[in-house]
């Protein structure tokens, strides 16, 4: 029980001290553009969104959308994770438009 409690305290404090959760992507221009798009959509400055207290992790991955005709459209998938919910944003590379977004419970 003590080990579990100590591990949980460590993980929570590590997340709190992490500060800017987007800095791990700063050398990837494609990902930073998508993060900027999501931040603007959420009415935050990028630095503000990346250091929100309730956001525990920011995950960015290359992705694609395939149309019914078979066209492949490059996207970037942005996940904002918190302890109660996560939000997913699909950002189209060509024009930085969010083509889909959804939030879901993590319980």
Residue 2 forms part of a structural domain: no
Domain count, the chain: 1
pLDDT score of 2:
56
State how far the Cα of 4 lies from the Cα of 104, in Å rounded to an integer: 27
- What tens digit of pLDDT does each residue of 54-89 get? 999 999 999 999 999 999 999 999 999 998 999 999
**H or E stretch including 107?**
none
What's this model's pTM, rounded to 2 decimal places? Answer: 0.80
Residue 15 forms part of a structural domain: no
Owning domain of residue 54: 20-105
CATH code assigned at 94: 3.10.450
Dihedral sign from CA coordinates of 54, 56, 58, 59: negative
Residue 101 forms part of a structural domain: yes
Residue 85 forms part of a structural domain: yes
């Amino acid at each position: 029980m003590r080990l579990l409690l100590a591990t949980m305290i460590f993980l929570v404090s590590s997340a709190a001290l992490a500060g800017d959760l987007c800095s791990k992507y700063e050398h990837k221009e494609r990902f930073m553009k998508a993060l900027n798009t999501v931040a603007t959509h959420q009415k935050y400055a990028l630095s503000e969104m990346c250091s929100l207290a309730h956001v525990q992790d920011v995950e960015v991955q290359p992705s694609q959308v395939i149309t019914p005709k078979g066209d492949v459209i490059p996207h970037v998938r942005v996940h904002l994770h918190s302890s109660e919910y996560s939000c997913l944003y699909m950002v189209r590379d060509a024009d930085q438009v969010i083509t889909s977004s959804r939030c879901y419970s993590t319980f």
